[in-house]
Amino acid sequence: MPINAFNRLYMGSAAILTYHMVVDRDTYAEALNPIRRSMVTLERFEEQIRFLSRRFTVISMDELGEAVKADGAERYAVVTFDDGYRSTINNALPVLRKHKVPAALYLTTSFIDEKRLWWLEAHDLIRKETGISARGSDFPCSAGNTEQMEETLKGIIMFGSASRENQEAVISALKDAGARPSAEAITWDDARLLSGERLVSIGAHTHRHLILSGLSESEARADVSHSKRRLEEELGKPIRHFAYPFGGAAHAGKREFSIAAEGFETAVTMRRAGVHAEHLFQMHALPRYPVMQRDTPLLLGARLSGLEAFIKHRGRRVVI
């Protein structure tokens, strides 16, 4: 199949990209997975944004529906950031401004309300070789064994994301173990500053960042709607876009899509694929590509061509 026809079929009209933290080289080098996997260095970020702004028309989430509907020869990209980190303000925003690239920021409101970015607190604690236990589950730390430290960190994150009770137990265990508030945590003043940026649109990412599929329907709905309400109260504008925490098939499915549809115009998952015309009827199950440190412009271009998604999804264009 000629590459142009292939691109047209599998890349789709648009690619939505996911970032978390944009950090300096030392922070990246010292970080443990899975946190490190959600970081890119400032240098790499600027390379990627420069590449995107040259190769694609970078648009906002508000413009996505119209762009996909037009289905012309143009290819679009949407840049998104999840969770709400200080590094987005300090490092990413100046680059976005320089290249005039719009971005959606999906904020987790309990991180702001309670000033507890608990998984980064756990990360920093484990790097100092301290383990915790919560609700009878032990998360020991083996000094010097990076692989095991990373396993422990992953265990804490998944345990603390399973229920409100687990999360509260993790937060209090971290406190007892001497964890300090993360420097990456943002305040409502920061959120207002971001919200006032012309290039930035703020979306919701739930209140507690729990795995929605594991909650009862009423708990899931309450966590989603509470984040929308808090953002609207604090920022004084309607919040129209949403991102599912984790966003894989195991974390958000049909039930979560219909909950998001009650309060938002769009909702993004972490299913890796391009956005196609068929998504106009699936605006609450939009796919996204994670962007990583290894993504040089060349690799990023190859991934966004749709080839990876074609292989992974065995030729299916729309993955629900």
Give the footprint of Zn ion on this chain (CB under 5 A).
82-83, 245
Please state the closest distance from residue 74 (CB atom) to Zn ion, in A.
30
User: Which residue, 131 or 245, is less far from Zn ion as judged by CB?
Assistant: 245
Please state the closest distance from residue 75 (CB atom) to Zn ion, in A.
26
- Map 254-301 to HEC letters: HHHHHHHHHHCCEEECCCCCCECHHHHHCCCCECCEECCCCCCHHHHH
Pairwise CA distance, residues 136 & 311, whole Å = 42
Please state the closest distance from residue 205 (CB atom) to Zn ion, in A.
6
* Structural tokens at position 21: 């933290």
Please state the closest distance from residue 184 (CB atom) to Zn ion, in A.
13
Q: To 5 degrees, how large is the angle CA 91–CA 93–CA 109?
A: 95
For residues 91 and 20, the answer to whether their CB atoms sit within 8 Å is no
Please state the closest distance from residue 212 (CB atom) to Zn ion, in A.
12
For residues 205 and 84, the answer to whether their CB atoms sit within 8 Å is yes
Nearest residue (beta carbon) to Zn ion: 82
User: Which residue, 82 or 234, is less far from Zn ion as judged by CB?
Assistant: 82
Per-residue exposure over 12-51, b if at least 16 CB sit within 10 Å of its own CB, e if not: bbbbbbbbbbbbeeebbeebbbebbebbbbbebbbbbbeb
User: Which residue, 245 or 274, is less far from Zn ion as judged by CB?
Assistant: 245
Please state the closest distance from residue 80 (CB atom) to Zn ion, in A.
11
User: Which residue, 141 or 270, is less far from Zn ion as judged by CB?
Assistant: 270
User: Which residue, 242 or 310, is less far from Zn ion as judged by CB?
Assistant: 242
User: Which residue, 12 or 247, is less far from Zn ion as judged by CB?
Assistant: 247
